Amino acid sequence: MESINVVIDDVISEGEGVRNWIEPKKVEKALRDEYWVNTMHEKINQFERNNVRYLVLKASARLESIQILLAVAYTLGFKLYQMNVQAPRAWYDRHTTYIIERSFSRGGANRTLFIRCIEETIVIAQIYVDDIIFCSPIDLLAHEFAKYIKQEFEMSMVGKLSYFLGLQVKQIDDGLFISQSKYAKNLINRFGLDSKKHTKTPMNTSVNIGYDPIGRSVDPTLYRSMIGSLLYLTTSRLDIAFSVGVYARFQVDPKESHLSTVRRIVRYVNGTLDHRILYSRDSNLDLVSYSDAD
């Protein structure tokens, strides 16, 4: 069943270009649909052709590394491209050997990042499961990388990076925009707050919500799910980072007062879906840090 889930994830990740179809929410539903069954069989056949069909854990890149790569690449003026390959971890293992043989070095802190230095320039490749983001200050080198990877592996060239890990990416001449409006809409609908009144701020500054020993307890699973979803949204929504962090402290025994405030954050997000981050080429790469006085 786990291997079937992996195949379904791959089928869904290819998007609406294959067919304008409602995505099945459960494995059982997908297995009753002839279209999805045929598509999954084709995925499995691709695994067989690449000799990579065996069950393993997925290889993952840290989201922080992706953010840093996007920021650095656009500050330095690199165009970002994306490729999609098959058989997540199995492909990753083969790719690691293949790419290192071609003079790429592997990251120390981030083992899914690969860099090749060519005289005074570089090619960077970042892997996440079955997707690759890659870039170079010289476009010809980026396309050359894609060419020799495609010669070895069965894959598709997505083109310029536009959507990755729930992040919507818009590349413009003088910068790069990152947003999560699609993810945010799904979050709002999932928790049934799409029709609720919007709020102008993510939290009420005049009300001090803390430990609530006499409050009525609420479902901790629901509360943790909302907090987890909002934490992922802070990737592009720094305006909610503080409020989400505050109410993440109460996940052990959440009360109605805590759930109410978390719902307020979601209602705020619903009214600010168009908010996004700009990585501008006017920025610099100076590292700035702050600390408390003590």
Q: Is the pLDDT of residue 244 over 80?
A: yes
Band of pLDDT at residue 59, cut at 50, 70 and 90: very low
Confidence band for 56, pLDDT divided at 50, 70 and 90 = very low
Q: Which residue did the predictor score with more confidence, 249 or 166?
A: 249
**pLDDT band at 21; cut points 50, 70, 90:** low
**Mean of pLDDT values over 8-15:** 47
Residue 114 bridge partners (DSSP): 106, 125
Say if residue 55's pLDDT is above 60. no
| pLDDT for res 61 | 57
Q: What is the model's pLDDT at position 6?
A: 47
Instruction: Reply yes or no on whether the pLDDT at 8 is more than 50.
Output: no
Highest mean pLDDT among 72-86, 106-120, 154-168, 224-238: 224-238
CA distances to 67, 142, 174, 203 from 281, rounded to whole Å, are 15, 20, 6, 33
Domains of the chain: 2-49 (no CATH), 63-165 (3.30.310), 181-270 (no CATH)
Confidence label for 148 from pLDDT (cuts 50, 70 and 90): confident
pLDDT at 114: 92
Q: In whole numbers, what is the pLDDT of the chain averaged over residues?
A: 82
pLDDT reading at 190 higher than 80:
yes
Share of the chain above pLDDT 70, in %: 85
Percent of the chain with pLDDT over 90: 38
